[in-house]
Structure formats: structure tokens, C-alpha cells
Amino acid sequence: MTYLFGHKPSAAGAYAAREAFLAAIKAPQKSRHTFELVGIIAACIGAVFLITCLLSSAETHAQETAVLQLSDARSRALANNPGLAQMRERYAALTYIPAQAASLPDPMVSLNAMNFPWDSFDTHQEPMTQMQLGISQTFPFPGKLGLREDIALFEAEAALHSVAEMRLNLVMNVTQTWWEVFYLDRAVETVLKNQTVLRQLVAVARTKYEVGDGLQQDVLLAQLELSKLLDTEIQLRSMREQRVFRLNILMDVTPESPIALDPTMPNVVGVIAGSSTLYQRAENARPLLQREQAEIEASQSRLALARKEYYPDFNVGVVYGNRQEDELNQSRQDFLSVMLSVNIPLYAGNRQSQSVQQHARQVARARYSLLDQKNLVLSSISTASAQCRQAAAQRALYEDGIVVQAQQTFESMLAGYQVNAVDFLSVSRSQATLFNVELLNWKAFTEIHQSIARLTAAVGEENIYE
């Protein structure tokens, strides 16, 4: 026999579904419409039970998976993430450029045949006929090679800071995603707990209805609220699956690999430093700002090199000319030639001057870019600090007050309903309020750690405490 989703329902589950259906048939048939509605709800409960079996099986499988600690997730991402590896290789490639930029151009070797007579090509006929072997070397104007090396060094330094910046962002993304999975785990636990409470509430409403002390709409409303929680559970599990995919991709593992997290709640140790202190630390520690400073240095070196282009480069060469004996077999003296040539900046107005203006603008752009990035860093620090303080305040409020009050309110409403002192709608509302504040409590707890991750990335170091 083929079962829904490939899972065979348990005997207890099948019995519960059958009993729910029989109870619906035996209920007083006030109207044909009511009977059909109860039958539909009973059938939905059976289907939802089968889905719950499937999800419970997946949960059991996840519990058997090795626990992934946050530190392990960060280490795996830093070791395996292809984007970070690509940035490292780019930096490694740039480290080979300074030595090339500081080297002289390759020397030129020439082999020439000079002053051959056109009619005979005889090497003995003309006294100036010779075979020449020469070598020449270009020497850039003093200071140019050093500036080119400086440009390459600053570019490599900027690439190194880009690697550090990407490490910060990768750790932040892994941390935030890990905490999202943690929150969704706690949210699913909260949903399952409230489902148990609602099932008990359904049983109470049904018992009161069967003895003629309650209303049928109370039973239907309780079942409806239970169905809503089942739908919420499905949504939360789907969201968790998506976050697990993202976390696995950041760690460069198979996206479908299951992940289980430790339910232990770590505590936040220390007091977050003030914004002004964090600003000062960011100016010295944030790789983004250091990269921008390296870009300024590189732009200034390019400007200095552009100004050096007004000065000529030198080409020095030596040529040895070998002459053959004349027609009377008398030897001829060989020649030695020395050459010196320089380039003349004849079109400086269209080339060198325009290059200087271009690189001057690029220096200004780099400086404005640094100021802009500083403002963004300051904004990120202020925002993350404010979010952390807000989440901590909300967590304290929920943990010490609202959650306890909502729990007590629901218990009081439930006790009053059992003795007909409170209507069922009030009980349902108090239960929904309890469920929502429990989720908000976990959300605030998660937001504390996520904001700390964002603040750490914004400052550029782990030391964000006083």
C-alpha cells in the first residue's frame, strides 16, 4: 500500500483520526451544513497528522546530525569559501608585480649588415661594409622605477585589506545565518509546545460540548487555531531549510547537508563600548578604511609618476662592426660605436599635462572615497549599537515581564473557561498573545547576537567591549 508522502501512519495516529471522525458523526446534527463542516475538519486533522509524522521524522533525523557550533561554522567558511579563496589568490598574484615594476626594461641585442654593395653583395669590395653586433639598454629617468614599484606595492596592500574586509563580511554573514537557524529552531519548539496546549484546549472544549456545557463553535475555533499553528510550523521549517542552504553554501558544503545546532543559550559577556570609542577603534582596525588609504597612496604615486613623464628616458647602446679584408687581402680595422638617445616630450600639452590632470583628479576621488567610507562605517557602528541596545532592552522586558504575564493570563483564562467564567474567545486570544510574545522573546535574544556580529564587522575587530 502507498501512503501519503511515503510514510505509514502509526496505529495511534490512525486510531485518533478514526475516533475524531466517529465523534463528528455522532455529534448532534443541528444542520446538514454543520455535519459537513465537522467532517471536513476531521479529515483535515487526519491529513495534518500525517504531515506532522513526516516533519517529526525529519526532526529526529536532524537530532542525529552532529551539532554545528558557531565557531566551527566560521572556521569552515574561512577555510573553504571560494569567494574568499579567490580574493586571496588575487592578492597573491599582485605581490609578484612590484619586482617586475622595479626592473629595467629588457636589453636589446641587434645584428646588422651595413653598407653592402647592391650589385655584388661582396663583403670585400667596399671598405665600409661591415657586420655589426650591438646591445642597448633603456634607463628610465631616475625615480620612475621607484614610483612604479610603489604603485604596485600599494595596490597589493589594498588587495590584502580587501581580503581582510571580505573575511569580516564572511564571518558576519555566517554568524547572522547561524543565529537565524538558532531562532527558527526555538520558534519551532515554541510552536510545538503551543500545539500541545491547543490540543489540550480542543479536548476541553469537546468535553464541555459533549456534556452540553459548551458550544460547538468553541470546538471548531480551537481546531482552527491548531490548524493555524500547524501551518506556522510548516512555514518555519521551510524558512529553516532555506537558512541551512545559505549557511552550507557559505561553508562550501552540499546545500542539502543537514545541520543541527546546540540549543544551549550563550550569554553576552561584557558591556558594549561607547560609539566614540568604537569610532576610534574602527579608524585603526577596519580593513575597508585601510584599503581606501592604500588606494590614496597608490593614486599619489601615480600622480608623481605622471609628473616624472616630463623628463626623458635614456637609451644607451654599444655596437661592434666587423670588416672583412679588402680585395688585396689587406686587413681593415673594425669599428666600435657608442650610442645615446633620449625621448623628447614634444607633445607634452596633449600627453603629459593631460595625464597629470587625470591623476590629480583620481587622487581627489580617492580622498573623497575615504571620507565617504568613514561616514558609512560610522553609520554602521551607530546603527548596530542602537539595535543591540534595543534588543537587549526588549529581551529583558520579555524575559522578566511580558512572557511571565502572558503565561499567567493564559492559565487564568483557561481556568476560568473550565468553570464557565470566561468565554472561549478570550482564552484563544490569550493563547495567541502568549505564543507571539514567546516568539518575540526569542527574536530579541537572537537580534542581540546578530547586532553584535554586525558591530564587530563594522569596527573591524572582536574587541567591541569597554
Domain assignment present for 177: no
Q: Does residue 35 belong to any structural domain of this protein?
A: yes
What is the mean predicted confidence (pLDDT) over 402-422? 88
1 and 52 co-located in one domain = yes
Asked if the structure places residue 24 within a domain, the reply is: yes
Quick: pLDDT tens for 1-20.
333 333 344 444 444 443 44
Number of domains in the chain: 2
pLDDT of the residue at 160 = 97
- For a pLDDT cut of 70, what percent of the chain falls above it? 85
Alpha-carbon gap, residue 296 to 363, rounded angstroms = 6
Q: Which of 324, 344, 364 is the last residue of a domain?
A: 344
**Statement: residue 35 has pLDDT above 50:** no
Decide if 31 is inside a domain: yes
Residues 110 and 60 in one domain: no
Residue at grid coordinates 605622471: 306
Q: Is residue 148 part of a domain?
A: no
Confidence of residue 463 (pLDDT cuts 50, 70, 90): confident
Q: Identify whether 269 is part of a domain.
A: no
Q: What is the pLDDT of residue 64?
A: 52
What is the rounded distance in angstroms from the CA atom of residue 365 to the CA atom of residue 250? 34
Q: Which domain range does residue 119 map to? A: 105-139+311-344
Lowest mean pLDDT among 60-69, 137-146, 352-361: 60-69
- Distant-in-sequence contacts of 314-317, Cβ < 8 A, 24+ apart: 314/138, 314/139, 314/141, 314/340, 314/341, 314/342, 315/136, 315/137, 315/138, 315/139, 315/339, 315/340, 315/341, 315/342, 316/136, 316/137, 316/139, 316/340, 317/108, 317/134, 317/135, 317/136, 317/137, 317/341
For the stretch 242-298, pLDDT in tens is 999 999 999 999 988 999 998 877 766 678 888 899 999 999 999 999 999 999 999
Residue at 57 is within a domain: yes
In a domain, 205, yes or no: no
Last residue of a domain, one of 344, 366, 385: 344
Average pLDDT over residues 51-69: 56
Q: Is the pLDDT of residue 24 over 80?
A: no
